[in-house]
Amino acid sequence: MQASDLNFSLQGKKLFFASDFHLGAPDFQSSRERQARIIAWLDYIADEAAAIFLVGDIFDFWFEYKQVIPKGQLPFLAKLSQLRDRGIPILFFTGNHDLWMQDYFTQELGIPVYTHPIEILVEGKKILVGHGDGLGPGDPTYKVLKKVFTSPIAQWLFRWTHPDIGISLARAWSGKSRISNSSKDEQRFLGADEWLWAYCKEVEQSVPHDCYIFGHRHLPLQLPVGQSATYFNLGEWVSQNTYLEMSSSETQLITFSTIPSPHGTRFESNSYQ
């Protein structure tokens, strides 16, 4: 957990949190359709946004060679650039699928990249935000793999692999990981065994917060932590299209949906139940 001096005063605006876009998966066409939906959501929230938090696994795979980044997400990157040109702060968190972020977002887009959960203050409320991979009990295999993948030596060796080969291998590995997780039925609510919920309870005992916000689990969740804190999981955008909206008066999970109308497709948000 990283301490942060990020202090947000909303002044009639809102914070928005979303994770697990998995852009690039499972194929070009479905990823492009999802990208269009995400861009529409970003347009929808832009006027109200005090800041936008992209909380990990935004890309299904990302690796920055010295002169190369993965292709396929140019419209999304262009939209982020437009939002930054409007002065809207964007905070990016790495997840287990895009943990090899370096300085492209920081230098090219003016978007800070966080590799661990951070604390923010929102009008006096203390909030912990992060992707959530490797936290809490369980998943010892991934925790070992994460140490290997995040080591400078491993990243240096991968950088010497030709991008056509390296990116193809990494995307194949990513797809295999998703299939493995699906076969283990890891995208169902685990009750008291929800490991990020358990992590929040453990943190709350030593460092109380008002709110915990994570992704990774692909489940939109709102669960109590201790006497007054709440744990939110953001869900995902492959099938759910859920995000968190935080105003001065309330914090709620919302589903972003496309609604057919006589005048064409329009976009609107519905409160998550």
**Confidence class for position 137, pLDDT limits 50, 70, 90:** confident
Superfamily of domain 2-271: Metallo-dependent phosphatases (3.60.21.10)
pLDDT, position 270: 47
Q: Between 262 and 113, whose confidence is greater?
A: 113
pLDDT, position 5: 72
CB 245 within 8 A of CB 270: no
pLDDT, position 167: 64
Q: What is the mean pLDDT of the chain?
A: 82
pLDDT in tens, 182-206: 444 557 878 888 989 999 999 999 9
Res. 10: pLDDT tops 60: yes
pLDDT, position 139: 65
pLDDT, position 182: 45
Distance CA 217, CA 254 (A): 17
* Nearest by Cα to 68 from 203, 161, 130, 183: 161
Collect all residues with Cβ–Cβ distance below 8 Å to 119 and sequence separation of at least 6.
1, 2, 3, 4, 6, 126, 127, 128, 129, 209
Distance CA 234, CA 221 (A): 7
Range in 160-164, 180-184, 256-260 the model is least confident about: 180-184
pLDDT, position 265: 37
**Confidence class for position 140, pLDDT limits 50, 70, 90:** low
Burial pattern 118-147, b for ≥16 Cβ within 10 A else e, equals bbbebeeeebbbbbbbbbbeebeeeeeeee
* Per-residue DSSP letter, 23: B
pLDDT in tens, 19-65: 999 998 888 898 899 999 999 999 999 999 999 999 999 998 776 76
pLDDT, position 262: 39
User: What is the CB neighbour count within 10 angstroms for residue 28?
Assistant: 9
CB 130 within 8 A of CB 251: no
Strand order in the sheet with 2-8: 2-8, 118-122, 125-130, 211-214, 229-234, 220-225
CB 267 within 8 A of CB 243: no
pLDDT, position 164: 67
DSSP symbols for 201-261: HHHHHHS--SEEEE-SS--EEEEEETTTEEEEEE--TTTT-EEEEE-SS-EEEEEEEEE--
Q: What percent of the chain has pLDDT over 70?
A: 73
Distance CA 259, CA 74 (A): 26
Range in 15-29, 73-87, 131-145 the model is least confident about: 131-145
pLDDT, position 150: 67
